[in-house]
């Protein structure tokens, strides 16, 4: 009996030891997770200053006295007339397919978000949200709305509006495939009470909490639908909670916004913002000088010329500044075309694009050649990746190796009976694209490649981009504080409305993207993105052209114009009474 008892006690001791050891490992793992989550939470502005996972940001004073936006001290009145080089396809931010001009008009002015980036500290802070709380495992984020938020029609915003917006994004019948990608790790959004919702996640990615904050809340009572096609057609008459509300859309001419007198926050001083569509930059500059518009983004040569013009500078500001939202410009090679499935061909195309000459002559030396999709001054970008040089001889060698040779002597390379002749699509309204197409056609022709300029009006161009109905195209895409390459470069985004418009598919880059998205520690994540950067540089699904600062001309009657780390905020501007142009 004693032997059996000793044997039993030994195994009981062993069993308990294993349990205790596993518990210790579990606690250690939980502690590591806690620390990793803390890194993410510290990106949010901590109301307690502790950076604890159970982060709460409660208002200590009545809400009307503790608004997230600063109050502007200046005269009320006047309009801001803002030139856009193209007309948006829609004013519905959920079906915009990434349309830059939709977002110029609607985001921040008509529609608002739960959280916003502080323009100088570059940290997320509550906006429509009054407070948020993140669970210790990071799989739940509870958000409480401010009590004073209402839409421009006077209807209070509630948890139902947040849930409606989320469910609309996730509805497969809604044309929101671009936005839907960001929410594929969300489990659900649950209502806690009339002003509180709980976001529930399947897993935590480094962008998770940002994604919660940065979607636009739509009013359910305005946008509710039975048929998703009905929502997709809701392209005008937007209603939101922002400081401006929609007045009218004169198709082909302009969109007018008027100040929202029901705004829950500090109302802007400007009475109206008018977005006027002028596709020709020369005509836009003439309109600026004639006082028909107040703001425009000039061509590089216009900026260089005008900032040296004393008469012009007496009336207008010429601003140039870097910020993470500046676009990166690139040529996308559709790998479904018979030419661009071979990376040697894509690299050959890069070698015949003289990016140095483009920056020097077309952009007046104001831009920088870039080699990847990340902000060139950010931590994700690998500065050690050197741009491929302009080298037509190397391009010829690569094309020969890939089998593209001029077999019939007509001056154009061919392979298996297919001539190397393709169309380069671009949007009209920007002289740079036309100049680039001409330059590219000339250099490509010198090595036996026929490039055909293929211009389209903006709305048609955007549609062709998302349907992958092109062979090659040149475009600029807006950046972010930190960029997630998943939508543009992950193979899962080739179909289903994703933005992998080139059909790029590399298991190595897929794996790096997947791991990086789940890596919460910044330093480890940056190293993964550097490895991704180097691979994308070798594969060249895009030929990255350049990144440039923001350039703008602005009428000097506007005051309180501040260059923040994240750019300009027109909602801060005002015009003294004696300088006001519009009544």
Strand order through the sheet with 196-201:
129-134, 140-145, 196-201, 186-193
Cα 33 to Cα 29, 181, 208, 313, 526, distances in angstroms: 6, 25, 15, 55, 19
d(CA 157, CA 218): 9
What is the average per-residue pLDDT within 511-527? Answer: 95
pLDDT at 59 over 50: no
What are the backbone angles phi and psi of residue 259, rounded to the nearest 5°?
-60, 135
What are the backbone angles phi and psi of residue 79, rounded to the nearest 5°?
-120, 155
What are the backbone angles phi and psi of residue 124, rounded to the nearest 5°?
-70, 135
Sorting pLDDT into bands at 50, 70 and 90, what band is 357?
very high
pTM of the model: 0.85
d(CA 533, CA 385): 8
Q: Give the lowest-confidence range in 40-49, 67-76, 85-94, 497-506.
A: 40-49
DSSP, collapsed to helix, strand or coil, labels residue 182 as: helix
Sorting pLDDT into bands at 50, 70 and 90, what band is 42?
low
> 182 with 170: CB under 8 angstroms?
no
Percent of the chain at pLDDT > 90 equals 78
Close Cβ partners of 7 (under 8 Å, ≥ 6 residues apart): none
pLDDT at 40: 60
pLDDT at 235: 95
To the nearest whole number, what is the mean pLDDT of the chain?
Answer: 89
pLDDT at 90 over 50: yes
Q: Which two structure tokens, joined as six digits, stand for 215? A: 């979607």
pLDDT at 10: 44
Q: Which of the pair, 97 or 248, is modelled with greater confidence?
A: 248
pLDDT at 43: 55
Close Cβ partners of 171 (under 8 Å, ≥ 6 residues apart): 228, 231
pLDDT at 499: 87
Sorting pLDDT into bands at 50, 70 and 90, what band is 44?
low
Q: Which two structure tokens, joined as six digits, stand for 487? A: 């939508």
Q: Which helix (H) or strand (E) holds 276?
A: strand 272-277
Longest C-alpha distance within the chain, in Å? 108
What are the backbone angles phi and psi of residue 165, rounded to the nearest 5°?
-60, -45
Tokens 């789940």 sit at which residue?
518
pLDDT at 321 over 90: yes
Sorting pLDDT into bands at 50, 70 and 90, what band is 479?
confident
What is the average per-residue pLDDT within 357-362? Answer: 92
pLDDT at 178: 83
What is the average per-residue pLDDT within 393-397? Answer: 98
pLDDT at 74: 96
Sorting pLDDT into bands at 50, 70 and 90, what band is 7?
very low
> 538 with 297: CB under 8 angstroms?
no
pLDDT at 30 over 50: no
- Condensed to tens digits (0 to 9), the pLDDT of residues 409-458 reads 999 999 999 999 999 999 997 889 999 999 999 999 999 999 999 999 98
545 half-sphere exposure, CB direction, 13 A CA radius: 27
Which segments of 362-420 does DSSP mark as H helices, in order?
392-401
pLDDT at 564: 95
DSSP, collapsed to helix, strand or coil, labels residue 414 as: strand
Q: Which two structure tokens, joined as six digits, stand for 416? A: 């298996």
Q: Which of the pair, 364 or 534, is modelled with greater confidence?
A: 534
Q: Which two structure tokens, joined as six digits, stand for 558? A: 């506007």
pLDDT at 130: 95
pLDDT at 466 over 90: no
What is the average per-residue pLDDT within 357-377? Answer: 93
pLDDT at 31 over 80: no
pLDDT at 27 over 70: no
Q: Which of the pair, 100 or 446, is modelled with greater confidence?
A: 446
Sorting pLDDT into bands at 50, 70 and 90, what band is 364?
confident
Encode burial over 33-60: b for 16+ CB neighbours within 10 A, e otherwise: beebbbebbebbbbbeeeeebebebebe
Length of the chain (residues): 583
Q: Report the DSSP pairing between strands 421-427 and 472-477.
A: parallel
Q: Which two structure tokens, joined as six digits, stand for 372? A: 């990847």
pLDDT at 496: 78
Tokens 């960001």 sit at which residue?
182
d(CA 35, CA 310): 56
Relative orientation angle of helices 522-539 and 343-351, to the nearest 10 degrees: 90
pLDDT at 430: 82
Domains of the chain (ranges; CATH) run 244-322+551-579 (3.40.190.10), 328-547 (3.10.105.10)
Q: Report the DSSP pairing between strands 328-333 and 316-321.
A: unpaired
Q: Which two structure tokens, joined as six digits, stand for 483? A: 């960029």
- Condensed to tens digits (0 to 9), the pLDDT of residues 327-355 reads 899 999 999 999 999 999 999 999 999 99
């Amino acid at each position: 009996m004693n032997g059996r008892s000793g044997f039993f006690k030994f195994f009981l001791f062993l069993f308990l030891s294993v349990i205790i050891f596993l518990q210790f490992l579990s606690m250690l793992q939980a502690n590591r997770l806690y620390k990793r989550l803390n890194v993410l939470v510290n990106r949010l502005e901590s109301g307690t200053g502790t950076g604890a996972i159970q982060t709460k940001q409660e208002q200590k004073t009545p809400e009307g006295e503790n608004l997230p936006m600063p109050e502007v001290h200046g005269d009320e009145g006047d309009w801001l007339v803002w030139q856009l080089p193209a007309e948006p396809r829609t004013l519905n931010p959920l079906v915009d397919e990434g349309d830059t001009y939709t977002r110029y008009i609607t985001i921040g002015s008509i529609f608002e978000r739960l959280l916003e980036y502080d323009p100088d500290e570059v940290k997320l802070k509550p906006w429509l949200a009054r407070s948020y709380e993140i669970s210790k495992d990071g799989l739940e984020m509870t958000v409480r709305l401010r009590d004073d938020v209402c839409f421009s029609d006077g209807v209070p915003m509630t948890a139902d509006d947040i849930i409606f917006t989320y469910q609309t994004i996730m509805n497969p019948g809604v044309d929101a495939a671009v936005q839907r990608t960001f929410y594929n790790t969300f489990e659900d959004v649950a209502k806690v009470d009339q002003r509180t919702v709980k976001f529930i996640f399947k897993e935590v990615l480094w962008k998770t909490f940002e994604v919660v904050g940065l979607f636009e809340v739509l009013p359910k009572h305005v946008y509710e639908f039975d048929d998703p096609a009905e929502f997709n057609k809701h392209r005008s008459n937007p209603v939101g909670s922002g400081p401006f509300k929609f007045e009218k859309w004169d198709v082909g001419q302009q969109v007018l916004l008027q100040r929202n007198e029901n705004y829950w926050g500090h109302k802007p001083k400007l009475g109206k913002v008018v977005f006027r569509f002028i596709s020709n930059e020369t005509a836009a500059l003439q309109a600026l000088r004639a006082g028909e518009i107040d703001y425009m983004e000039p061509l590089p040569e216009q900026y260089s010329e005008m900032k040296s013009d004393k008469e012009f500078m007496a009336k207008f500001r010429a601003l140039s500044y870097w910020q993470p939202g500046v676009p990166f410009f690139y040529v996308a090679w559709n790998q479904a075309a018979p030419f661009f499935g071979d990376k040697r061909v894509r690299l050959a195309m890069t070698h015949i694009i003289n990016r140095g000459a483009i920056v020097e002559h077309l952009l007046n030396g104001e831009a920088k050649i870039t080699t990847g999709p990340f902000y060139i001054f950010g931590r994700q970008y690998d500065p050690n990746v050197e741009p491929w040089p302009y080298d037509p001889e190397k391009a010829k060698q690569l094309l020969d190796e890939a089998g593209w040779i001029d077999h019939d002597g007509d001056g154009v390379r061919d392979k298996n009976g297919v001539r190397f002749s393709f169309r380069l699509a671009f949007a009209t309204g920007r002289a740079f694209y036309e100049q680039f197409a001409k330059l590219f056609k000339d250099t490509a022709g010198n090595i036996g490649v026929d490039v055909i300029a293929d211009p389209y009006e903006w709305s048609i161009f955007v549609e062709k981009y998302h349907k992958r109905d092109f062979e090659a195209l040149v475009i600029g895409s807006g950046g972010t504080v930190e960029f997630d390459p998943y939508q543009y470069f992950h193979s899962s985004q080739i179909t289903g409305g994703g933005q992998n418009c080139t059909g790029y598919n590399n298991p190595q880059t897929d794996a790096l993207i997947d791991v990086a998205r789940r890596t919460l520690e910044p330093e480890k994540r940056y190293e993964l993105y550097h490895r991704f950067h180097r691979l994308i540089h070798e594969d060249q699904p895009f030929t990255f052209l350049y990144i440039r600062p923001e350039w703008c001309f602005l009428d000097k009657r506007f005051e309180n114009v501040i260059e923040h780390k994240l750019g300009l905020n027109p909602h801060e501007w005002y015009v003294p009474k004696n300088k006001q142009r519009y009544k």
